[in-house]
Amino acid sequence: MRTIPASQLTDAVAHLCIQANTQLPDDIVSALNQSRTTEPWPLAKETLSLLWNNLEVATQQSLPICQDTGMACVFVELGQEVYIDGNFEEAIHEGVRKGYGEGYLRKSIVGDPLRRVNTGDNTPAAITVRLVPGDGCQITVAPKGFGSENMSRLAMLKPADGVEGVKQFVLDTVQQAGSNPCPPIVLGIGIGGSFDKVAYLAKHALLRPIDVPNPDPYYAQLEQELLSAVNALGIGPQGFGGQTTCLGLSIEAAPTHVAGLPVAVNVSCHVTRRASCTL
């Protein structure tokens, strides 16, 4: 059994909150950079250059890339042989509190969805834990802005709808979202599982770098087809028109019931943030 003090968890989460909000992951940076070259439409090309400048200004001025520094979604892959010395969940909330305070990040969480009073420190975090073999502890912080989160959708399709039904649902979701989620977007798509599981799959798909295809060649192919179809919609950067509507798309699939075909689309923006570390 390996012991990890809760305070170590807190410090790691605080650091990751700041890192995620000020430095984009390499795969997103590289996709945005490449789109500046491949985009043929003048206004779209100009817009992509401005988004690129924003990344540079954020670094120079020590500013968050986007003012919506998001809801702190924290994913922990916890080794079964690890003992956390202290309160596990409270240690993570404390890390969010510390990171959002020290990093001058925006506090965007209300304590109750209907009575809506800001908690003032961006807590609580949205925590997802998965137990894995071994004595490691991997933490990923993926702050999620709600301009794009609000455009996400879930449907319980019929098995007869098949892959075409899934494709159509994804395209309808992107079309309806239009300019709202700050395109170029990134899509996490869940297929299968149950009502709750499919939403988790879609969210989890956003954690996979967009230059890494699904390991199953069937789904890797579907990712390619859907990405092309989404980029043929013409929405373009910021919805001003153009080729670059979506920078990347990841699918996660899971076993499901004979009677169902759940599908969920988690829409994310060009500021798709995630930062990880291993304790």
Contact set with other proteins (CB under 8 A) = 41, 43-44, 47, 50-51, 53-55, 57-58, 61-69, 104-108, 118, 120, 145, 147, 150, 178-180, 182, 233-236, 238-243, 269-271
Query: Which residue, 123 or 238, has its beta carbon nearer to other proteins?
Result: 238
The CB-of-135 to other proteins minimum distance in angstroms stands at: 37
Q: How far is the CB of 188 from other proteins (least distance, A)?
A: 17
Nearer of residues 82 and 171 to other proteins, judged by Cβ: 171
Minimum gap (Å) between residue 245 Cβ and other proteins: 9
205 residue type, one letter: A
The distance of closest approach from Cβ of residue 76 to other proteins in the complex, given in angstroms and rounded to an integer, is 26
Judged by beta carbon, residue 62 or residue 278, the one nearer other proteins is 62
User: Which residue lies nearer to other proteins by CB, 86 or 239?
Assistant: 239
**Of residues 51 and 84, the one with the C-beta less far from other proteins:** 51
**Shortest Å distance, C-beta 253 to other proteins:** 29
Is the Cβ of residue 110 or residue 156 nearer to other proteins in the bound state? 110
Minimum CB separation of residue 170 from other proteins in Å reads 18
Residues 145 and 158: their CA atoms lie apart, in Å, by: 31
